Amino acid sequence: MKKKMAVTGFGFMGAVHAKNILENERLELCAIVDNRDSIFEGIEKTGNHGELGLPIDRLKKVPVYKTLEECVSKEQPDAVSICVPLFLHYELTRKALNLGLDVLLEKPFCPAVEQCDELINLAEEKGRILMVAHCVRFFPAWQFLSECIRDKRYGELKLLTASRMGGEPAWGVWLDDKIKKTCGGALLDLLIHDIDFAISCFGKPEDVELNLNVAEYWEFELKYKTTPARISIKGGFLHRHTAFASEYIATFDKGSVRYSSLQPEFIYAGTDAGSETIEVKGDGYANELDYFAGCIEARKPPIKCLPEESLTAISVCNQIKESKHNSC
Ligand SMILES: NC(=O)c1ccc[n+]([C@@H]2O[C@H](COP(=O)([O-])OP(=O)(O)OC[C@H]3O[C@@H](n4cnc5c(N)ncnc54)[C@H](O)[C@@H]3O)[C@@H](O)[C@H]2O)c1
């Protein structure tokens, strides 16, 4: 039987999750929860992915509630995807776990590590599955990179530079100056994706070195004893409406690979023997959701994306911020 899943927060990411739930054969989209009145207004063009290609007619048939409590009492969902602004992550996840739901929470986890810790313990106590939606782990281009690092098909990794930049979000809650201040800036909102990817490959870094920070632009290195590779991450927010791109260049002993989301269909690789073009297939958000669906079906912890690692990503961001303060 399909698991009943609700989406709380029907903005950019909520709409993406709702669409993917509708298209997932293990899940049923049983409700949408949002505290706004006209939730479909402008939804198709929200976010930084262009048109979202939403099945609007099907979405409009889904029951809509203003609060999670009301949704739970009427629909009895098994799980909820929480896609609200960061300042509500702790409160709503806590509520959902206490209501007995499995939770897929949009990244970043919570602003404070103590809050993350408390939610991890609460999920365990309630026997619920909690996963933070660190989607990059499920994006095919990054999965390819992760495999190259692991199976050493191009030799040992020497250098990884990951970059992520684009206009400051110009949709939803980001247009409210008061809420925008609580969204964590480019470090927590954007660069945490690459920090989390590094954590998925190498674990928690021993140290961080901040090389440059100008307003919402950051360049830093994650220092590891577990790998001889240098891991450099850079990026941030540009002026609103500037094209978004996430990119990587990885250099190994015997070859290099590079990818840019501006050309999402291909990864380019080069060795002394010649060049290679690798086709990128699949949707990372759909993969992520399907993985979560598998975990709640099998009652297994999300080992590919554990909340403990999502907590680590928060603590690395905090370390980077602290190193900024210490260098001032
Ligand atoms: N994984 C990714 O690639 C990615 C991309 C963008 C945003 N995000 C994350 O997704 C989350 C949401 O960001 P967004 O860009 O979708 O924001 P958004 O502003 O587009 O959507 C947020 C929605 O939450 C609703 N909301 C606010 N308070 C609520 C409440 N108490 N109950 C129910 N609904 C409520 C708002 O009405 C709005 O519709 C954030 O945590 C953000 O970091 C992830």
Name the residue ranges covered by the structural domains of the chain: 3-133, 137-282
* Ligand 1: centre distance to CA 171 (Å): 10
Q: What is the mean pLDDT of the chain?
A: 95
Distance, CA of 328 to CA of 268 (rounded, Å) = 40
Please say whether the beta carbons of 206 and 135 come within 8 A.
Answer: no
Task: State whether the beta carbon of 157 lies less than 6 angstroms from ligand 1.
Answer: no
> What is residue 48's predicted lDDT score, i.e. its pLDDT?
78
106 Cα: distance to centroid of ligand 1 (angstroms): 8
- For ligand 1, whether the C-beta of 36 sits within 6 Å is yes
Of 84, 97, 185, 199, nearest to 146 by C-alpha is 199
238 has a pLDDT exceeding 90 = yes
Dihedral angle sign, alpha carbons of residues 162, 12, 50, 184:
negative
For the cut 80, the answer to whether the pLDDT of residue 327 exceeds it is no
Q: Which residues contact 261 (CB under 8 A, 6 or more apart)?
A: 141, 244, 245, 246, 247
Helix (H, G, I), strand (E, B) or coil at 246: strand
Q: Output 263-267 pairs: Cβ under 8 A, ≥24 positions apart.
A: 264/141, 267/141, 267/144, 267/145
pLDDT of residue 174: 86
271 pLDDT higher than 70: yes
pLDDT in tens, 122-180: 999 999 999 999 999 999 999 999 999 999 999 999 999 999 999 998 888 888 889 88
Per DSSP, the residues of 272-301 read TTEEEEEE--S-HHHHHHHHHHHHHHHT--
Which position has the token pair 């939610």? 119
At 51 the pLDDT is: 79
Find out if CATH 3.40.50.1370 is the number for domain 3-133.
Answer: no
Q: Which two tokens stand for residue 171?
A: 């949709």
Q: Which CATH architecture does the domain made up of 137-282 adopt?
A: 2-Layer Sandwich (3.30)
Cα(14) to ligand 1 centroid in Å equals: 7
Residue 328 predicted with pLDDT over 70: no
Say which DSSP state 297 is in.
H
What are 16-75's pLDDT values in tens digits?
A: 999 999 999 999 999 999 999 999 998 888 877 777 889 999 999 999 999 999 999 999
Predicted TM-score of the model (pTM): 0.96
* CB of 172 closer than 6 angstroms to any ligand 1 atom: yes
Contact 171 CB / ligand 1 (< 6 Å): yes
Confidence of residue 286 (pLDDT cuts 50, 70, 90): very high
Question: Closest Cα to residue 135, out of 284, 266, 21, 12?
Answer: 284
Asked if residue 153 lies in contact with residue 223, where contact means CB atoms within 8 angstroms, the answer is no
The owner of tokens 């998925």 is 200
Query: Which pLDDT band, with edges at 50, 70 and 90, does 107 fall under?
Result: very high
**The pairing of beta strand 3-8 with beta strand 27-33:** parallel
